[in-house]
Structure 1
Amino acid sequence: MAFRRPVIGLTLDAEPPGGYSRWPWYALRANYASAIEAAGGLPLALPHLAALAEEMLARLDGLIVTGGAFDVDPAIYGEAAAHPSVTLKSARTEAEMALLAGALAADKPVLGICGGEQLLAVMLGGTLVQHIPDEIPNALPHEGHEPGHPISIVADTRLARATGAGAMHVNSSHHQAVRTPGREAIVNAYAPDGVIEGIEAPGRRFCLGVQWHPEFLTDPGDGRLLAAFVAACR
């Protein structure tokens, strides 16, 4: 039988008119797709069509909720006031919530990256830190992206087994973070300042989120994590 790559859905970002097009347009960095291809998967971009989430999921073996320069509406996790730094993309969040809800209901493998990890935590009943510099004393500069910072990985977690590591050096590009991971989820990684860098739901087939961007393959553990996710989708 010919080798079949598992089909991995990648959520797209959305931009208003201007720049690339006079009309609203979707975007996704190419390294998301190339990293999944290198890990053995077949990447498939997913538009923001919440009503079609069930049909999309029927054709997918796994789901990656990608990152982006926007935030989850604090009202979704029970906070009435939004920090001035919060930026919303409501249509994108609605579509990603529909996809995540369906994937979780079917126990399909899920990987949340950066904002995708934050949305995963919220979907599991968790909460977020709205702006790290205002809430975490002596926080690292998490919005710098490169060169990033080290993280410690909690032993005997899926993340530890997938990466084969107890520590990694990761990129960092976020102003929010998970405050509580939600029901059935646990924390699997921390930054030196105590910021949560990863969560997972141990009782599920593969349900994991990371605050950094493994598609950049900054650390050898990044490729191993993506390979473990794709393997779980087979």
Structure 2
Amino acid sequence: MSSSRPLIGVTLDSEPGTPQGGGYSRYPWYALRRNYLDAVADAGGIPVALPHCADLAPDILARLDGLVVTGGAFDVDPALYGADTRHATVTLKSDRTRAELALTRGAIARDMPLLGICGGQQLLAVALGGSLVQHIPDAIPGALPHEQPNPRHEAGHQVAITPGTLLARVTQAARIAVNSAHHQAVRTPGEAIVCAIAPDGVVEAIEHPARRFCLGVQWHPEFAISVADRRIFAALIETSGSR
């Protein structure tokens, strides 16, 4: 890229609109919390929002230096990881998942630096052949409240980081406090390895050991509640700017 700042694609959420009125628009619209984009810009990247156009994924990726797959209040279709049933709590956004899956798989194939956040981490696991826990409260006895009751800009619990991993090198920490806003989790990581877990055993981060920077975290580092969160974005941008 011609700019000294790497161009980082950031995936958007979407809503169908409210024909009866009362919402942002009567027509379908994209949305994203601004702290996702601010985190990329503050770390030295140029954030660019990406539409849900799966067929454009190769052309989009050809113009990017890195990719952030964001979270949202929806789930990956269990059929994509071979599940025979769908939990009653599962909510789908099929167009978004189709586009994000195309972008994620394309980024992995190109060895493009990639950061998956919350649902983006779960999608990364599925893209790498893994599977998900569809509803933590029903699947893990005594689990922590991973949909934390306190605000998202505060910590919900701690995670233990696996020594010797990319995440350990990036964060320079063995244990960090994170926020938590999810009802699903990674069950099996596929080609990835688990690099952080919660005290109740829930997978909190995964990474692909054969890629330069292919990391998924279950929490939301864009809120920057710790130095480690800022270091994650800094490492993404640094790797995206190198060849």
Distance 2:213 2:155 in 1: 28
Q: Which runs of 5+ in 2 are unaligned?
A: none
In the alignment, which of 178, 184, 188 is matched to residue 180 of structure 1? Answer: 188
Query: Is 2:177 aligned against 1:163?
Result: no
Other-structure match for 2:197:
190
Other-structure match for 1:113:
117
Query: Is 2:85 aligned against 1:81?
Result: yes
Q: How far apart are residue 3 of structure 1 and its match?
A: 6.5
Other-structure match for 1:91:
95
Other-structure match for 2:28:
24
Other-structure match for 1:12:
12
Give the TM-score taking structure 2 as reference length: 0.94
Other-structure match for 1:200:
207
Q: Percent identity?
A: 65
Q: How far apart are residue 101 of structure 1 and its match?
A: 1.4
Q: How far apart are residue 195 of structure 1 and its match?
A: 0.3
Distance 1:147 1:63 in 2: 25
Code of the residue aligned with 1:161 in structure 2: it is R
Q: How far apart are residue 137 of structure 1 and its match?
A: 0.9
Distance 1:143 1:203 in 2: 32
Query: Is 2:127 aligned against 1:123?
Result: yes
Give the TM-score taking structure 1 as reference length: 0.97
Aligned length: 232
Q: How far apart are residue 219 of structure 1 and its match?
A: 1.3
1:13-52 aligned at under 5 Å gives the runs 13-18=13-18, 19-52=23-56
Q: How far apart are residue 202 of structure 1 and its match?
A: 1.0
Code of the residue aligned with 1:4 in structure 2: it is S
Distance 1:200 1:102 in 2: 16
- Deviations along 1:42-99, one digit per CA (max 9) or x if unpaired, are 0000000111111110110001100000000000000011000000000000000111
Q: How far apart are residue 147 of structure 1 and its match?
A: 3.3
Please tell me the root mean square deviation across aligned C-alpha atoms, in Å.
1.0
Q: Which runs of 5+ in 1 are unaligned?
A: none
